[in-house]
Chains A and B, each alone.
Chain A
């Protein structure tokens, strides 16, 4: 790892001030992606600004209609929260499938979404449940948030403070984990949300996306059979030694079918 300066931020404003004052600063959340990347010298920020000391960014709030999760809340906290288990069990399940226990103890929802790894699990939840990303500047709808490979709508000087999920009538997440890393080769969140049925996919493309054909079919009739015959085109999907684009496209249908079957 190359040398860098380390700063602990006391507030969101303080973090942004420190980031602005750094030559090539990076925000450090749980560090479960950033630190391995730095160890491999694929990233060499001049400064790290650690958000761990900002109490405002932690915690889970549930009201009648929404679950709001602070950006620095860990995967383990989301998974083990009784309130999340009751309001959105699919979200708790998804958090429990990320990485391994030690990674879940440190990795955070805000870090995962800011990074927008194409194989991360949370993007499927944000997309599938129709969540809203709250930043220090504005609120971004899930549909407008993911822009491409490791690319989001976040601008310079913009920091995720919380993510707000509308409580769905029913939802399920099914994931096909890459056997070694446990990242999602493909993960699909199927949900009946207050604004209609949504299907959010991670792992298959450069970033999370919805499948409108499946949403239409599930709206007409909510059953696994409704999505069984729907295949998505493999053009532009991810391909690596673990699976071709065609294979991933096929997995989207299989995972959507399994997710729908769980809650139909």
Chain B
């Protein structure tokens, strides 16, 4: 066991974890932030996407100890004062949710895409979304939501 400390959604947290604890396990099981989902567990589906120091990363392919000292944002950290983040609002507006399982990862990836490509067109968004899998195959509305979010 080793101690790990980081900031999650603006709050300092620390815990004793085994080195093999994945970041997603730490978020879900230790911090009870269950909005971050495990879809495939093989680094493909992107349902576990969170922001680490401002960059989208797959929390199922990162050890909690690797996030020592990092600033982590999960889907729970986006809404402020009861107001949805513009990317969440856009998903709602364009019905980008479908069954909702992939949605947290899609929203986190979407914010990251628009941060790097503020004026992303459809082709860019589709290319950039290749690390996030929606099993409803509902990409059309997800792409629309990401392109049109007022971020």
Chain A residues near B (Cβ < 8 Å): 1-6, 8, 31-32, 35-36, 38-40, 48, 50, 52, 76, 80, 99-103, 105-106, 180-182
Q: Among the listed A8, A48, A105, A182, which residue makes an inter-chain contact with B55, where contact means beta carbons less than 8 Å apart?
A: A105
Top 5 nearest A-B pairs by Cβ distance? A100-B131, A6-B19, A1-B20, A105-B55, A102-B58
Neighbouring B residues of A76 by C-beta, 8 Å: 55
Q: Does B63 contact A (CB under 8 A)?
A: yes
> Quick one: closest A residue to B68, CB to CB?
A8
Contact B109 A52 (CB under 8 A): no
Cα A100 to Cα B55 in complex, Å, equals 13
Cα A92 to Cα B20 in complex, Å, equals 33
Task: Using A3-B19, A106-B61 as known contacts, say yes or no to A31 and B66 having CB atoms under 8 A apart.
Answer: yes
Q: Among the listed A2, A8, A31, A181, which residue makes an inter-chain contact with B62, where contact means beta carbons less than 8 Å apart?
A: A31
Chain B residues near A (Cβ < 8 Å): 2, 18-20, 22, 41-44, 46, 49, 55-58, 61-63, 65-66, 68, 109, 112-113, 116, 128, 130-132
B118 to chain A, nearest CB (A): 14
Contact A52 B66 (CB under 8 A): yes
Contact B18 A105 (CB under 8 A): no
A260 to chain B, nearest CB (A): 24
Neighbouring B residues of A100 by C-beta, 8 Å: 46, 128, 130-132
Contact A102 B49 (CB under 8 A): yes
Cα A52 to Cα B42 in complex, Å, equals 22
Task: Write 9 A-B pairs (CB below 8 A) sorted by A numbering.
Answer: A1-B22, A3-B18, A4-B19, A36-B61, A39-B22, A48-B19, A101-B128, A105-B56, A106-B62
B123 to chain A, nearest CB (A): 14
Cα A6 to Cα B2 in complex, Å, equals 9
